[in-house]
Amino acid sequence: MTGRAGQSVEPGLFVTIEGGDGAGKSTQAALLEEWLVASGRTVVRTREPGGTDFGLEVREIVLHSRGHITPRAEALLYAADRAQHIATKVRPALDRGEVVIQDRYIDSSVAYQGAGRVLDGAEIRRLSEWATEDLVPDLTVLIDLDESLARERLNSAQKRFDRLEAEKNEFHRRVRESFLSIAKAEPERFVVVDGALSPAEISARIRHRLTPLLVSPAR
């Protein structure tokens, strides 16, 4: 890839981090960013929903609205946020040769709105693939954690639950099972890490899987 004034720009790398609420995604995103920056890479760390100004408004609606939101409306809101986010923030960063670390992406919609809300997961995926013009991550990290342990973590944090965190354990069980099913179907894209491990061990396993992509990026 060639940038301004004919300068060579190394390919960007798109890394997504998935998992249930309380799995530790934000912690691992921060640790990964720190490691990549120390190695000399330019990093954009972002999230869905909420990675853009538009996304922050969507996030407030889907996670904190007091009124009822139907499952299909919820899925469409996430897709709208995703379309804006990828077009205005993620693709430009990748075109500049940067590493994008993103907390949640299409797999979350398939798991939460598909399995969690009992919609058609294939339809949910097609909607988001259309919204993002088929942008696929180079690596997806799934931090897998038993939903009961995840709930204990959330309770201990003493935070106000959002609409999805407040769902019953059965909802979160379906979400977890969906994530694992997606990862099993696409082992070349996923690294699945036990969320019960220490943050340092989880981070080490993520770095081990990511290192070959940094040497010879897929994009």
Q: Is 19 annotated as a binding residue?
A: yes
> Measuring CA to CA, how many Å separate 85 from each of 46, 47, 179, 215?
9, 9, 22, 27
Count of residues making up the chain = 219
Q: Is 23 annotated as a binding residue?
A: yes
Instruction: Give the bridge partners for 190, in sequence order.
Output: 140
Element (H, E) at 192: strand 190-194
Q: Is 65 annotated as a binding residue?
A: no
Closest C-alpha among 166, 186, 168, 169 to residue 125: 186
Q: Is 150 annotated as a binding residue?
A: no
Element (H, E) at 27: helix 25-38
Q: Is 20 annotated as a binding residue?
A: yes
Instruction: Compute how many other C-beta atoms are within 10 angstroms of the C-beta atom of residue 152.
Output: 12
Q: Is 114 annotated as a binding residue?
A: no
Q: List residues forming the annotated binding site for ATP.
A: 19-26
Annotated binding site: 19-26
